[in-house]
Amino acid sequence: MRSIFIATLVIAACSRTALDVDDSTFVPDDASADATVDASPDGKVDAHGDVVTKPPLCSASNCKGCCDSSGICQTGTGDVFCGDNGGKCITCNTDFHCQQVFDGHACVSKGGGSTEQCSYATCPSGCCGRFNNVSQDIYCFQGDGDYACGIGGQPCAECEVNNDTCSNHQCLHSVCGGGHCVNGCCLGSECLAGTDIHMCGTGAVACADCTKSNETCQSQTCKPPLCNSQNCTGCCVGDICATGTQTNACGTSGAACTDCSASKKTCTNGTCQ
């Protein structure tokens, strides 16, 4: 009964800029040689300048269970995280429990998958349907999953067929939520990657503008810049500490680098002259 939604993520690795990097003064927060810093929306650069790509995100292609709101693959067999095939994890309510029904798990009424007629009388808070649209038995589903959405003992609707999401037991179009944006953030109804400094976040939360707090987007979270006056004697280009002696990257004391060429000057002792 369920349509499998496979999210595809293309991870583009970006190399470090051509700026001379002052590795001797740039020390990551954890002071580890293997620590990484955000250098691009899709990849990271370690302390040695090597690109480190992000691990695969939870999806139907790599998770037989379900994906929680943080993008972590759960087994999908418990009442707190119930689901399968890389779909959104559902938390089963009091009258439901996570039960294996054919080749997967779903929040089903504690009465189980019986052959009894499913109706408002037996399933007032959920919806009635056949698992995978194959089983002969009619099940009372919790009714808040994208593949089985509904309430009042009515037939379950498959929201995924139209790329909709289930909200308050109704299929809603273009809603940004955990089921469709577990690895990004929401800008209105649009799901974004969540790696941009102006649109940062993960877990289907509202995107945050890190510049408003003078922070940068690191691992999809607004945090203080990794390059600052405490760890950089040169100047900063984003999270990268440059020597501060180049015409296009001039400065000292962890301040933002200045491009002297814009004013037809050269960089002398960290100052455009």
What's the pLDDT band for 55 if we cut at 50, 70, 90?
Answer: low
Which one of 65-79, 104-118, 131-145, 166-180 scores highest in mean pLDDT? 65-79
Query: Binning pLDDT at 50, 70 and 90, where does residue 246 land?
Result: very high
Higher-pLDDT residue of 85, 153 = 153
Q: How far apart are CA 214 and CA 207, in angstroms?
A: 16
- pLDDT score, position 112: 52
Residue tagged 């979270």 (tokens): 221
Mean pLDDT (whole number) for 20-37: 39
Pick the closest to residue 142 from 172, 177, 99 (CA basis).
99
Give the model confidence (pLDDT) of 91-116 as tens digits. Answer: 999 889 898 876 678 898 875 555 46
User: What's the pLDDT at 175?
Assistant: 67
What are the pLDDT digits (tens) for 253-273? 989 899 999 899 999 999 999
pLDDT at position 12: 33
Concatenating the DSSP letter of every residue in 31-73 gives --TT-EEE-SSSEEEETTS-EEEPPPPSSTTT-SSEE-TTSPE
DSSP states of 117-179 as a string? PPSTTT-TTSEEE-GGGT-SS-EEE-SEETTEE--TTEEPB-GGGGT-EEETTEEETT---HH
Tokens, residue 160: 């995924």
- Overall average pLDDT of the 74-103 stretch: 86
The confidence band for 25, taking pLDDT boundaries of 50, 70 and 90, is very low
Q: Which two tokens stand for residue 116?
A: 């009894």
Q: What is the pLDDT of residues 106-153, one digit of tens each?
A: 898 875 555 467 888 888 889 988 776 566 778 899 998 877 889 999
Q: What is the pTM of this model?
A: 0.45
Say which residue the tokens 């950089």 belong to: 232
pLDDT at 15: 35
Out of 18-22, 62-66, 125-129, 254-258, pick the least confident.
18-22
Q: Do the Cβ atoms of 122 and 114 come closer than 8 Å?
A: no
Q: Is residue 4 predicted with pLDDT exceeding 90?
A: no
End-to-end CA distance of the chain: 70
* pLDDT at residue 11 tops 50: no
> In whole numbers, what is the pLDDT of the chain averaged over residues?
75
Task: Look at 41 and 213; give whichever has higher pLDDT.
Answer: 213
